[in-house]
Chain A
Amino acid sequence: QVQLVESGGGVVQPGRSLRLSCAASGFTFSSYGMQWVRQAPGKGLDWVAVISHDGKVTYYSDSVKGRFTISRDNSKNTLDLQMNSLRAEDTAVYYCAKESKARRATAIDSWGQGTLVTVSS
């Protein structure tokens, strides 16, 4: 079955960088768009970024545009999120997520367990 395992979370000071990774298995990784979604403590879901199946197309939320970069390695079945210039408001659980369809996805059908990023001095 689909398995998504995030890693790389932790405590980081404001202004510093952190790189999250997601190891995917149980499906043909190179066929699906992948996303990152975050959730601040006690808050709702906040969409972060998406990357197309081939890595050629990316989109970001306004709140992270210019600071975060999503990337993937289809040879290793991994998804990454490079987070620079981190702010306190980036504190959240970050979920790696798989789109529901190989073409024109309209939902997220698989989620990782999440990794907590805490931005604090």
Chain B
Amino acid sequence: DIQMTQSPSSVSASVGDRVTITCRASQGISRWLAWYQQKPGKAPKLLMSDASSLQSGVPSRFSGSGSGTDFALTISSLQPEDFATYYCQQANSFPWTFGQGTKVEIK
């Protein structure tokens, strides 16, 4: 199975900060990577697929990059509604696997 490792596990940031979360796959997954946002008590929400394809309705302050084994999700200017937990997920092969999550907290 492909292991997905996110870093950091948590980050404290202020409104307006630029935040970058990285995700590393244990083997190459081309660009078959998705990013999700999850708020407490809610289902995850798809932000990005295919490494950098922004989902409809997701603000443009979110961007994704990477291919192969190394990927990143960047929030260019953190907004109050962005405080949440973020997960990467590989879709190169089954079983699909998720990173352990990165919690973005208010500083």
Contact = CB atoms under 8 A, between A and B. Distances in A.
Interface of A: 35, 44-47, 50, 59-62, 95, 100, 105-109, 111-114
A50 B94 CA distance: 9
Contacts of B50: 106-107
Given A45-B89, A106-B34, A111-B43, A59 B49 contact: no
A108 B34 contact: yes
Most buried by A among B1, B32, B44: B44
Contacts, number: 57
Interface of B: 1, 32, 34, 36, 38, 43-46, 49-50, 55, 87, 89, 91, 94-101
Contacts of B44: 45, 95, 108, 111
A59 B91 CA distance: 13
Which are the 6 A-B pairs with shortest beta-carbon distances? A111-B43, A107-B34, A107-B49, A59-B94, A106-B91, A45-B98
Contact of B49 (A46, A61, A100, A114): A100
